[in-house]
């Protein structure tokens, strides 16, 4: 992930390079004293190889971290697009409709996704304060309009993407406490992304149940490769 503004990893690698540079110098000095020119050359080669390995490992971790963050961001963006597609087809009343009092509405699920994403990614991975009040996500009844709900979930996704893009590679394996669970940064990302997609499909189902044949599909295959008949 992008390490702009995060000096720890760069300083670590720079420090190791300085160490190896001094190591090369000391070995050369000793070799010159002992008259072992061939041994000095071998020592220099070994030290330089170690430096290259150190820098290469850092670059590999950086690429892996970027890949994880980018894929998670793409998954959130795609799921958000599907949610927007569904909500835009529903009326204000349909957004808050529930099949029974014990079930959730589309609106409640959207509020729930906002809370979960902010707790697990914005706070858990990004380090922001955790101010989630989970039960309120399910207790609300017809208190927000469609436009407000869409703005809230768009904001949550944007903040989550910001947190993902600014997380250094070592944070993927660091264990932290989220919602009573000890998880690594990688686990938090996978949890949040799969949780977001899971409830997205629930929103699709609830939208189709209400609209029936009037539901407009987000994707219809048009070629054999896509699965068209």
Percent helix / strand / coil, the chain, rounded to 5? 70, 5, 25
pLDDT tens-digit profile, the chain (229 residues): 544 444 444 444 444 444 444 444 444 444 444 444 455 445 545 654 664 565 566 677 788 888 899 999 999 999 999 999 999 999 999 999 999 988 999 999 999 999 999 999 999 999 999 999 999 999 999 889 999 999 999 999 999 999 999 788 889 989 999 999 999 999 999 999 999 999 999 999 999 999 999 999 999 999 999 999 9
Nearest to 71 by CA among 179, 190, 180, 167: 190
> Would you call 17 helix, strand, or coil by DSSP?
helix
Nearest to 215 by CA among 85, 79, 110, 105: 85
Looking at residue 166, its pLDDT comes to 74
Looking at residue 20, its pLDDT comes to 43
Nearest to 199 by CA among 92, 86, 91, 97: 86
Structure tokens at 61: 């971790």
Residue appearing with tokens 């994403």: 117
The pTM is what?
Answer: 0.75
């Amino acid at each position: 992930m992008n390490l702009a503004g995060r000096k720890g990893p760069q300083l670590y690698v720079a420090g190791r390079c300085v160490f190896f540079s001094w190591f090369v110098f000391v070995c050369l000095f000793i070799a010159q004293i002992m008259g072992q020119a061939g041994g000095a050359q071998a020592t220099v080669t070994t030290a330089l190889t170690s430096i290259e390995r150190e820098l290469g490992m850092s670059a590999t971790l950086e690429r892996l971290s970027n890949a994880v963050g980018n894929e998670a961001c793409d998954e959130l963006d795609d799921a958000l697009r599907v949610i927007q597609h569904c909500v835009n087809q529903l009326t204000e009343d349909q957004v808050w409709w529930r099949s029974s009092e014990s079930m959730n509405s589309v609106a409640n699920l959207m509020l729930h996704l906002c809370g979960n994403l902010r707790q697990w990614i914005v706070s858990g991975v990004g380090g922001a304060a955790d101010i989630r009040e989970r039960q309120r996500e399910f207790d609300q009844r017809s208190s927000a309009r469609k436009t407000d709900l869409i703005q809230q979930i768009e904001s949550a996704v944007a903040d989550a993407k910001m947190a993902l893009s600014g997380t250094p590679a070592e944070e993927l394996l660091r264990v932290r406490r989220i919602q009573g669970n000890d998880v690594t940064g990688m686990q938090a990302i996978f949890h949040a992304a799969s949780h977001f997609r899971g409830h997205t499909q629930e929103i699709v189902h609830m939208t189709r149940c209400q609209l029936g044949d009037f539901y407009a599909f987000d994707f219809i295959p048009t070629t054999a490769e896509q699965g068209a008949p």
